[in-house]
Structure 1
Amino acid sequence: MAERVDPSPTGTLTERITAELSSFLTERIGLLTQVSADLDVLAQAVRAAVLTGGKRIRPTFAYWGWRCVQPEAAAGEPELVRAAASLELLHACALVHDDVMDSSDTRRGQPAAHIRFGQFHREQGWSGSGQAFGAASAILLGDLLLSWSEELFTAAIGGLPHDRARVATDQFDLMRTEVVAGQFLDMLAQARGAFDPDEALRVVEFKTSKYTVQRPLLLGAGAAGGSAELVGVLSAYGLLIGEAFQLRDDLLGVFGDPSQTGKPAGDDLREGKRTLLMALAFQAADRFQRALLQAGVGDPGLTPAGVAQLREVLRQTGAQQQVEQRISERAGEAARCLAAGPLQPAAAQALLRLAQAAAHRTS
């Protein structure tokens, strides 16, 4: 989701966020390397996890939550941008841990952190399991990123009036709790093995909708002193667009172009993800189609021909079209929410553009 609205003369929002991250990480990585030169491999992994790729979606929504209330370049905006940048560290933590839990080999077209660490172990010729070293190192990397996200957020938000900083902090706390809850619900769905639409949507709400859109928006609006009416509008918009974002992600996980998604074609099928797309397909499948789904979904050795066959089943059952329709409906409902809300005009236009980008993105 490439958000290119220029919020200040000093650069695009994405550039400002990246600059904040780079400055913060330079200082913190310096502390690591003072401890021991052996931590250089960890420092490199931090840079790869945070500064290589990424759309800066959560900081972007936090910024436009702020701009729903405050005009451009209002007092406190630099502090808000810095606090918003901390959400990218939180997200990097979530991705690193998620790749370990899902046994994903790639992230943004590059080896996942645990794969990088495992390769490093093998290159050094060390004893023990490279795979175990890689997983343990990635867990520690994620923990470090989580700790640093709180450091950056706390230092930045403290520059705002206390009452507004407190509201924003509450949203930051809820965001961290809810994403863990959503991740655990996702693991439960995988363990139970069922393909249930309601369960899939519950995971979407907590793992994506609240974490990716709603809480960042409310964090920004709270930091800006937003009204209860505005909070209601942004809450509704956030859940709608967060769902559209995740459902698009589910479609891309099956039908996306690997050169744009950074993941192998059909990876979600091999992982057997319990998405709404798959749940709808199982519901509508005939006996032959269900047999194909049961045999292929969750098979790590699924061939490209098998991926193509399952894609055709998803089309034939109407599951793909149902998800596409739901995405369009959620984007439309979100637009109507914004039209009824007390938003600054520039922010309303930016959020409309972001809604369309979330619903119709290709990566």
Structure 2
Amino acid sequence: MSQNIPHDRLAPEQFRAAVADRLTELLGSHRARAERVHPEAAAVVDAISRLTAGGKRLRATLCWLGWRAAGGAADDPRIITAGAAFELFQAAALIHDDILDRSDTRRGMPAVHRAFEAMHRSSGWRHDPEHFGVSAAILAGDVCLSLSDAAFHDAFAGSPRADRARQEMETMRFEVMLGQYLDVLAEMAPPAEDPAVAAQRAETVVEYKSARYSAVHPMALGAVLAGGDDGLVASFEPVTLPFGLAFQYQDDLLGVFGDPELTGKPAGDDLREGKRTVLIAHALDLLEADTAAALEDELGRADLSAQSVAHWQQALRECGAEKRVRAEIDDLVAQAQEAAGRLEGSGAEPSALADLRGLMDTLLHRTA
């Protein structure tokens, strides 16, 4: 890092800036490689650069907190590279997720497949612009996965527990891809008649597509990289799992009720995408039968009007579905905070635990 800051005083925002610098370095190098292949190939790396320029850097930060909790120096280049690897993997997940969900926007910009589609249209090329957009974005996501693997490999070098770290990474990748499949399946398969079964399906998707990938594995991987033992790593999960679940439930609320100016996505976008979230599972349980059937009929309609979105926002509030999810978030936050208090005697580095509590407080009270 360019800043001369003692490792025990490095602030989270300074770590995130270091990760951004590392991403710029990595992607700049690979853009030059792409240009040597062919000048037009650089567009793939440019799309990745635009996407990775934003975001909360949640997974990178949690990896860093796990590393620090296990005694790693906060400004060690290996953990900065690991943070960049997480950001590249997240970019791949977002690119592919937006294709699967047929999303038009991401972080206030056109989704990557829509950006490539627009490139095709503006260039006046032959054949189907939508097919080109999807094809190019799939390849961009694959490039992200390749770059992420290479960065993880560099981060693991010299770790006393490199094999265990690799196992954690591979478990994370396997689980999130299966979680993504279950998410797609939930949108296509007939809904469960039993509301409890529907809610359980939604919770499984949240746990494996989001919570474990976003919180549990990143912090565990960081601790393992620093040489933390399995007992310390296991002590984090009672904090990170409820935090990850609460974070995604909050995202689900923002996907229906969020302000587009803050979220970077249209209001009610999750309704148009047909997301089978815990919010929707609760709504189908609480709504009158005829209204629930109407929601089922309109869920997943890409042409759902703003008026219909407003109608369903009101219905989800009035039936108590939103209130039920907020109560679940409150319960999960309490579980995470209680477990975080128990970490005080675990041998974890105290400043890392203080930053973990600060991160949870900030992200669980966000509006975007």
Quickly name the TM-score band, shorter chain normalised.
Answer: over 0.9
AA aligned opposite 1:178:
E
Aligned counterparts of 1:73 and 1:269: Cα–Cα separation in 2 = 41
Q: CA deviation at 1:254?
A: 0.5
Residue among 165, 168, 175 paired with 1:168: 165
| Structure 1 residue 280: Cα displacement | 0.4
Task: Tell me the secondary structure at the aligned position of residue 160 of structure 1.
Answer: coil
Task: Provide the alpha-carbon RMSD of the alignment.
Answer: 1.8
Does the residue aligned with 2:364 lie in a helix, a strand or coil?
helix
Is the contact made by 1:243 and 1:330 (CA closer than 8 Å) also made in structure 2?
A: yes
Q: Secondary structure at the match of 2:167?
A: helix
Q: Which moved more, 1:150-159 or 1:353-362?
A: 353-362
Kept in 2: contact 1:285–1:317 (CA 8 A): yes
Give, in whole Å, the separation in 2 of the partners of 1:268 and 1:178: 22
Structure 1 position 274, deviation (Å): 0.2
Structural mapping, 1:1-363, within 5 Å: 8=10, 12-51=14-53, 53-70=54-71, 72-73=73-74, 77-161=76-160, 164-194=161-191, 196-341=198-343, 342=346, 343-363=348-368
User: Given that residues 65 and 219 in structure 2 are in contact (C-alpha distance below 8 angstroms), is that contact kept between their aligned partners in structure 1?
Assistant: yes
User: Mean Cα displacement is larger for which, 221-230 or 25-34?
Assistant: 221-230
Cα distance in 2 for partners of 1:8, 1:30 equals 32
Q: CA deviation at 1:124?
A: 1.7
Aligned to 2:195: none
Work out whether residues 27 and 45 of structure 2, in 8 Å CA contact, stay in contact via their aligned partners in 1. no
CA contact 2:96–2:138 (8 Å) conserved in 1: yes
The question of whether the paired residues in 2 share the 8 Å contact of 1:114 and 1:134 is answered with yes
C-alpha distance after superposition, 1:93-128 (max 9, x if no partner): 010011111111101111111111111112221111
CA distance in 2, matches of 1:229, 1:43: 40
**Aligned AA (1:193):** P
Partners of 1:73 and 1:217 lie apart in 2 by 14
The letter for the 1-side match of 2:68 is: R
Instruction: Write the deviation string for residues 48-107 of structure 1: whole angstroms up to 9, x where unpaired.
Output: 1222x1111100000000111216448xx2212211210100000010011111111101
CA shift digits 1:204-261 (9 cap, x unpaired): 1100011000000000011122233322221222211110011000000000000110
> Does structure 2 conserve the Cα–Cα contact (< 8 Å) formed by 1:292 and 1:310?
no
Contact 2:12 2:61 survives alignment (8 Å): no
Corresponding letter in the other structure for 1:137: A
**Displacement over 6 Å in runs of 4+:** none
Q: 1:295: Cα distance to partner?
A: 3.5
What are the ranges of 5 or more consecutive residues in structure 1 without an aligned counterpart?
none
Task: Specify the SS of the correspondent of 1:12.
Answer: helix
Q: 1:241 to 1:219 in 2, by over 3 A?
A: same
Q: Which stretch shows the higher mean deviation, 192-201 or 175-184?
A: 192-201
Render the CA deviation track for 1:252-282: whole Å, top value 9, x for unaligned: 0000000110000011111111000000010
CA distance in 2: counterparts of 1:357 and 1:226, whole angstroms = 26
Tell me, yes or no, if the aligned pair for 2:45 and 2:140 is still in contact at 8 Å: no
Kept in 2, the 8 Å contact 1:233–1:338? The answer is: no
What letter corresponds to residue 357 of structure 1 in structure 2?
T
Q: 1:295 to 1:24 in 2, by over 3 A?
A: same
Residues 172, 213 of structure 2: 8 Å contact kept: yes
TM-score by length of 1: 0.93
Q: Which segment drifts farther, 121-130 or 103-112?
A: 121-130
Displacement of 1:46? 2.0
Q: TM-score, normalised by structure 2?
A: 0.92
The CA deviation at 1:310 is 0.5
Identical columns (%): 38
Between the aligned partners of 1:69 and 1:352, the Cα distance in structure 2 is 16
Letter in 2 for 1:203: V
Where 2:328 maps in the other structure, the secondary structure is helix
Deviation at 1:158, TM superposition (A): 0.5
Deviation of 1:284 after TM superposition, in Å, equals: 0.9
Give the Cα–Cα distance (whole angstroms) in 1 for the partners of residues 186 and 220 of structure 2: 28
What is the CA–CA distance in structure 1 between the aligned matches of 2:13 and 2:260, rounded to whole Å? 30
Corresponding residue SS for 2:221: helix
